[in-house]
Structure 1
């Protein structure tokens, strides 16, 4: 049985990957994250605490478990935090990838790395895999530098670029635009939502499936793995209100200049996903279908 090692298994994507792989695929799964295991399920995988910024820990664990595949989901993804904590951001987003690539070369495994639309400046979205990167933020710079690590390596690798991932973690530990809009409107609280930034929002379950398909096909190179609908957050908020039959009059259209944020955001990103559709059979939900997935999980009490 082939082995898959997942970094960042306590995170949203990590949780969805472990859930997917333990129920639909025949793999020996090694889940890793910093600190204690926070996964809801207990069976069909082994867990190891791993600090990916510690080169020795990375070398030791990969040398010990000898995975056939690594899916690297762990990263510092808070864009503003990356702007203020640049050293920590670089360690998590770039140095860790260097350590994983180095260990993968010794071990001979395939490495799938998660990247982002924030490597682009948002002038010409939606983007395909050949578009020229030009990040506006330190977060974007760090993720682009991580891509370069793989491009310059001699290992077997793939990069899955994604956009605005949303979903529900089993412990409800993080919010997303759907939960935020639903909660605000149910409380009859007016909200300001930007209408001048365009994205292709990605359901976490779709991203997990995209990662699985890339591994299954041992696809190499860069792949866009995102949602298929190009929307502004304002449009996402309206769709959410419609789905839950809530009062849209509390949703106020705003532009990004309304909000003061340390890191600059690209205006129009979003991805063209034809390559992933054609080569590995990736077929994501629409945003409306994604709302329905979350709604059913909310009804179950997010016991995922």
Structure 2
């Protein structure tokens, strides 16, 4: 482990949900900037993550168990918390609403109950708190979540706002990038890459829009927020509004796959359990002004992913 990880001058930070896509990328991007620890529940951890932080800094804890959370917080003593843990699959949340509430709402409340108000609490929420009827949402626009996942995240936001502490709520758009410890893996890019490499067609929506965000940009913005005193709600998305189909076309061209394998489809053609919002694009002006960092457009972000993939493959 790098000696800077033990530097007593560095603040202590905990990543809740370190086994997830954002959490593992936070572990990479924050190394050397904090004395890091992380919590996870049921997911297995990449060996590279264990090597990065050390087993003593990784805590397996169920956030729905307040006493267990209290014990971990007492040992880790974080000064900053990045709360990325969630039951985040919309269809699963729809099928298991009680579990979604327990993890996303009660888990967040349990964490807050164990913290001193001086702890900098960075809560990661979602663009899906909006119904997608207009797009380009600002922080003060009316929320109207369409599915259980989004409703639980909104209620968790409300619990954070009710906490008399040092919090920031960041509504993040659809993330893309490399999975930590492997090349493009269990992520949106991972699914695209595996399918296209196998010559399988991929059906992507032409009528669903997001402001897709490079995960490294999310990490940088969250780090900058953690070192500032601003509070409240912020939106964080990429530089452009884009459909999943358009994103897939760009990905195929930049990564050298056949764009013909990306097939257009409407949301109504592929029904699913959870209701889907059509346009949850976010306006990120407020967070750009607060942090001085502007996220990349999709072309630039995908080229970063391609470069990072090449580095891992030569490793």
Q: Which residue of 2 aligns with 1:11?
A: 20
User: 2:184, 2:263 → 1: CA distance?
Assistant: 26
Q: CA deviation at 1:173?
A: 8.2
2:73 matched to 1:62? yes
User: 1:7, 1:156 → 2: CA distance?
Assistant: 17
Q: 2:267 aligns with which of 252, 256, 263?
A: 256
Q: Which residue of 1 aligns with 2:129?
A: 119
User: 2:301, 2:219 → 1: CA distance?
Assistant: 14
1:130-145 to structure 2, matched below 5 A, reads 130-145=140-155
Q: Which residue of 2 aligns with 1:28?
A: 35
Q: CA deviation at 1:187?
A: 3.5
- Aligned-pair Cα RMSD in Å: 2.1
User: 1:167, 1:178 → 2: CA distance?
Assistant: 7
DSSP-derived class of the 2:229 partner: coil
Q: CA deviation at 1:114?
A: 0.5
**Contact in 2 for aligned 1:15/1:39 (Cα 8 Å):** no
Judged with a 3 Å threshold, the aligned counterparts in structure 2 of structure 1 residues 37 and 243 are, in CA distance, closer, same or farther, namely: closer
DSSP-derived class of the 2:170 partner: strand
Judged with a 3 Å threshold, the aligned counterparts in structure 2 of structure 1 residues 91 and 174 are, in CA distance, closer, same or farther, namely: farther
Q: Which residue of 2 aligns with 1:167?
A: 177
Q: CA deviation at 1:65?
A: 2.6
Judged with a 3 Å threshold, the aligned counterparts in structure 2 of structure 1 residues 39 and 204 are, in CA distance, closer, same or farther, namely: farther
Judged with a 3 Å threshold, the aligned counterparts in structure 2 of structure 1 residues 124 and 3 are, in CA distance, closer, same or farther, namely: same
Superposed structure 1 runs of 4+ greater than 4 Å apart: none
Judged with a 3 Å threshold, the aligned counterparts in structure 2 of structure 1 residues 236 and 70 are, in CA distance, closer, same or farther, namely: same
User: 1:303, 1:79 → 2: CA distance?
Assistant: 36
Q: CA deviation at 1:212?
A: 0.6
Give structure 2 stretches of 5+ with no counterpart. Answer: 1-8
Count of residue pairs the alignment pairs up:
301
Q: CA deviation at 1:303?
A: 8.9
Q: 1:216 aligns with which of 220, 223, 227?
A: 227
Q: Which residue of 2 aligns with 1:241?
A: 252
User: 1:123, 1:236 → 2: CA distance?
Assistant: 20
Judged with a 3 Å threshold, the aligned counterparts in structure 2 of structure 1 residues 213 and 303 are, in CA distance, closer, same or farther, namely: farther
**Contact in 2 for aligned 1:37/1:47 (Cα 8 Å):** no
Q: Which residue of 1 aligns with 2:279?
A: 268
**How does the TM-score come out when normalised to structure 1?**
0.92
Q: CA deviation at 1:122?
A: 0.3
Judged with a 3 Å threshold, the aligned counterparts in structure 2 of structure 1 residues 149 and 248 are, in CA distance, closer, same or farther, namely: same
User: 2:71, 2:193 → 1: CA distance?
Assistant: 45
**Contact in 2 for aligned 1:66/1:107 (Cα 8 Å):** no
State which drifts further: 213-222 or 177-186: 177-186
Judged with a 3 Å threshold, the aligned counterparts in structure 2 of structure 1 residues 282 and 152 are, in CA distance, closer, same or farther, namely: same
DSSP-derived class of the 2:144 partner: coil
**Contact in 1 for aligned 2:37/2:53 (Cα 8 Å):** no
Q: 1:44-93 CA distances to partner (integer Å, 9 max, x unpaired)?
A: 56222222111001112212332111110110110100000111111110
**Contact in 2 for aligned 1:168/1:302 (Cα 8 Å):** no
2:105 matched to 1:94? yes
Give structure 1 stretches of 5+ with no counterpart. Answer: none
DSSP-derived class of the 2:280 partner: coil
